[in-house]
Structure 1
Amino acid sequence: MAAVNLFAEFQKQYQRSWQQEKILVAVSGGVDSIVLLNLLQRLAPAGNFKLAVAHVNHNLRAESVMEADYLRKFCQQAGLAFYETSWEEVPTSGVEVAAREFRYQFFAETMLQNDFSLLMTAHHGDDLAETILMKLIRGGHLENFVGISPRQPFANGQLVRPLLPFTKAELRAYAAEQQLDYFEDASNQSVLYQRNRLRQQVLPLLIEENPRMVAHLAEFSTKLAAANQLVAEEMTQLYQTLVQKQTSPVSYQLNLSNFLAYSQPRQELFWDYFFERVRSETGMVGKNSQLNQVKELLENSQAPQWQVDFADGWQLRRRYQRLIFEKSVVAETIEKNEIVKALPLPEEGIFINETSWLAIFPTDQPIPIPKKAQEWSAWQQEFRYPKNSRFFYRSRQAGDFIQLSSEMRKKIRRYFIDEKIPTEKRAEALVILSDEGQILVLVPHLLSYLSIAPETDTIHYTLLYRAKNL
């Protein structure tokens, strides 16, 4: 595209877009931003908008002070307001990301303080192509492949990138035609940065294969952004249909049967949406390997219970037909609550831990429930047993049996499996024992046959178990 045609195309696309706007232009001093500023200056009289310049001195190069001085004088001569800042606390690592955050924070503050409606940056077609290539290299999430948005909300207005339809070569040709002065950043030639390697070594080969490669990637990005919007709308509806969120503690649950009724493509897209949403709400960080493990288990595992561990204690657990995603407190709970040795159960009852209380009383006597436990959920059972008996309690242990009838007993572990009791509930289970060490009650699940034997010298007892999360 000839230089004069570049301005004509720019004018055709944008002349009526910014009537009465106050525009802040981010200008580094490089060819891209200088071309953008020149185009806007030429268009401003007919476009009826106001211009100002924002510049950040990152203090990463010796030339940066001279460049800031030049831009300041240029704006003074052109009658443009000039807003500048200097980055004084440069970190020793992660410089590129930190610099961008500092830069855009300054732009946002300048817009808010001076009532600018638009911020314009000089990202162009080559930048968009490089960004897409970088994202293809780094990951496989669909929404990440969108390149650079031409317009998006920012601060109190919009961030606009009007040079995306143009290539770097077209911008350079325009600068030469208009005899514009600009600065070259020597760091742009360094192959230490991935973007520079793509710019110098990969993109030229692709353009050699097809000169319209940059334009095609721009079209791809636009269409993908539209497709992503449609996917997001559908996944939002699917999320609202499937997921039940609890806030205290934070937990996400869904019915597995309902989820598996959807097609495989919807399931695949759902998980990407689900984990991105959880990340935005909780700060939880997941890896592709963990997400792939979840998909693999759902597709191939016949186990009724499994779990996938994420960072910071987060777990996705299958518990029969429920999927539960939450921070795990199970290991800590087991360690704190496990009662190895059988302990006598006091007549007045006892707090097993901070969230559960247990008591056994003769049925004809009132049960004084502690105030703390009165609002908790209750599991209450009546049973017969000899008078003046003492009862003991402990955690369920490997090898425990419970008598189901006069001729049948079952391992408690097998009972849990048959009844599809989740792992967390198994860890919380208690057993009530007689003086002889026989299991009378599995709390809070069932009575043993031994607790209902019809001896003549028996009375009715009431077992009451209250728990905050029964």
Structure 2
Amino acid sequence: MSQDVHDFIIKHKLLNEVQTVFVAVSGGPDSMALLHYLIKRREMYGIEVEAVHVNHQLRGAESVDDEQYVRKFCTEHNIPLHTKKMDVQTFASQNKMGTQKAASELRYQWFDEWLENRPHSCIATAHHGDDQTETILMTMVRGGNLLVPSGINVKRILQNGFVIRPFLGITKEEIEHYCKREGITPRIDSSNHSMKYTRNRYRQQIMPFIKSENPSVHIHMQRFQEWQRDDQSYLMELAEEAFKSIVVKKSEQSITISIEATERLRFPLQRRVIHLILRYLYGKNSPSSTSIHIEQIIRLLNRQEPSKELHLANGLFVYLSYDCCHFTLKPQIKEEQPLVPLTVPGKTDTAAGTFTSYYLETSDIPVDQKHMLHLDADKVVFPLSIRGVLPGDRISLRGMSGTKKVNRLYIDRKVDSAVRKVWPLLVDGSGELLWVPLLHRSKSAVITEQTKRVLVLVFVPCISI
């Protein structure tokens, strides 16, 4: 065992530039073997060895006895020990998570805090090859995101340092044999036998069969984890570059990509680009998007979904509009623009933006812009109103004869279907359409040389068109 662990440490450069190793010790066989192994070889590796122990306060008197056992061992071997008590149950309840996950999160939070202001140091945990096999199997069976490397990393990077796992290349059986050979009598955690924990069910029911088929499965699983991690890292780098070529618009809560540009990507990159988008929008609140979500979005992009939209976890809305696919966490506007009177002069708020109206003399007319409409105030049929589009709506064309359907105008200008429902139209007292803001003006009540008074309308949108 000792030679295998040494070769593993050298291969992965786990102790390069490390001066102090803080071994996470529970009192069980795995961590006691790791602490003993590093103590015996600290001169060879040129390191100082200290121990850290977390009392999760989950097993009453057993937890107290574990800490006392570790303290006694460290005292006998002249090893500094640092301990921490944690209220795992309260943390698990407050964050609505399982006990084991809560314990792990608190433990690694403390490890990170501990390494702050301790340069050239690391934490060492005693995860071994059987743990690796169990973790990969559990991840595969659970159906997690296949683009996220499964298994236990040889080195876990924290904000203030890193954690190393020197025992990933050996088995639980080898560790137990080492303890017997070196006269170590470790503590046994009674919860390791409880079948209520998923890992224990895998350990007791599945692992014996797998190891009977291949006693060296842990070597294969370790290689699988390392290769998968390296491959995924490289492909994600390519995906990050590919994302830049397909993004149309990006904000804190929304991302729009070009469907055509996305379809030109190789399929593995399409999957990973979507994964990057979901990870960006969800951030720390990620519901842990699965491969199923990514496949749903791929089908949506390929127009294989029966609808043109998807509603994912935590309010994420994905929908198609022409050549674009939109990902947004912004609340969707469901109501159509109702009929409301336009205040003249004054301000009128709508779901899509605000209208401001005022009168001017002809000599003071501002430069015409697409968000403005100038009307001959004496030719306007009052009262003016704002409403949404209706079936058959048409608007006359400035500088041309005839009219154009508003829905056709929306199609030609590639206005999103969700926006069409709330986009405000200006109508006069006779019901004639005068303005589709930012898109088209009617030829009614236009300004001429005979105009004496001008009505200026300004529309400032709060949504994109």
Classify the TM-score, shorter chain. 0.7 to 0.9
Using the alignment, how far apart are the partners of 2:290 and 2:327 within structure 1? 15
Other structure's SS at 1:37 match = helix
Q: Percent identity?
A: 24
- For structure 1, the 5+ residue unaligned runs are 1-5, 370-376
Match status 1:260 vs 2:263: yes
Match of 2:5 among 6, 10, 17: 10
Structure 1 residues 351 and 102: alpha-carbon distance in aligned structure 2, compared to 1, 3 A threshold:
same
What is the SS of the residue equivalent to 1:183?
coil
| Map of 1:466 onto structure 2 | 459
Q: RMSD of the TM alignment (CA)?
A: 3.4
The answer for unaligned runs of 5 or more in structure 2 is: none
- Higher mean Cα deviation, 48-57 or 348-357? 348-357
In structure 2, do the counterparts of structure 1 residues 228 and 105 end up closer, same or farther at CA, with 3 Å as the change threshold? same
Q: Identify the range of structure 1 (193-202 vs 138-147) with the bigger mean alpha-carbon deviation.
A: 138-147
The equivalences for 1:289-308 within 5 A come to 289-301=292-304, 306-308=308-310
* 1:344-423 map, 5 Å: 344-346=342-344, 348-353=345-350, 355-359=353-357, 361=359, 364=362, 366=364, 378-382=370-374, 387=379, 389-404=381-396, 411-423=405-417
Partner residue in 2 for 1:50: 48
C-alpha spacing 1:434/1:59, structure 2 compared with 1 (3 Å): closer
2:425 and 2:433 in contact (8 A); partners too = yes
The amino acid of 1:7's aligned partner reads: S
Amino acid at match of 1:351: T
CA distance in 2 between partners of 1:79 and 1:379 (Å)? 78
CA pair 51-269 structure 1, distance change in 2 beyond 3 A: same
Tell me the equivalent position of 2:142: 138
SS of 1:273's partner is helix
How many residue pairs match? The answer is 451
Sort the Cα spacing of 1:419 and 1:100 in 2 relative to 1 into closer, same or farther, 3 A: same
Check conservation: 2:34, 2:126, Cα contact below 8 A: yes
Task: Give, in whole Å, the separation in 2 of the partners of 1:172 and 1:384.
Answer: 93
Q: Which amino acid aligns with 1:22?
A: T
Assess if the C-alpha contact under 8 Å between 2:259 and 2:301 holds in 1: no
Return the alpha-carbon distance in structure 2 between the equivalents of residues 223 and 433 of structure 1: 65
TM-score by length of 2: 0.85
Residue 119 (structure 1) aligned to one of 117, 123, 147: 123
Secondary structure of the residue aligned to 1:164 is coil
Question: Quick check: 2:54–2:85 contact (8 Å CA) kept in 1?
Answer: yes
Matches within 5 A, 1:267-346: 267-280=270-283, 283=286, 286=289, 288-301=291-304, 306-331=308-333, 334=335, 338-341=337-340, 343-346=341-344
What is the TM-score when the length of structure 1 is the normalising length?
A: 0.84
* Deviation by residue 1:172-214 (Cα, 9 ceiling, x = unmatched): 1111222211011121112211111111111211121222212
Q: Deviations over 1:420-450 (max 9, x none)?
A: 2113432342222233222233333223465
Match of 1:80 in 2: 79
Q: Shift of the alpha carbon at 1:125?
A: 0.2
| Mapped partners of 1:41, 1:52: distance in 2 | 9
C-alpha distance 156-442 of structure 1, shift in aligned 2 (>3 A): closer
Contact 1:285–1:311, Cα closer than 8 Å, also in 2: no
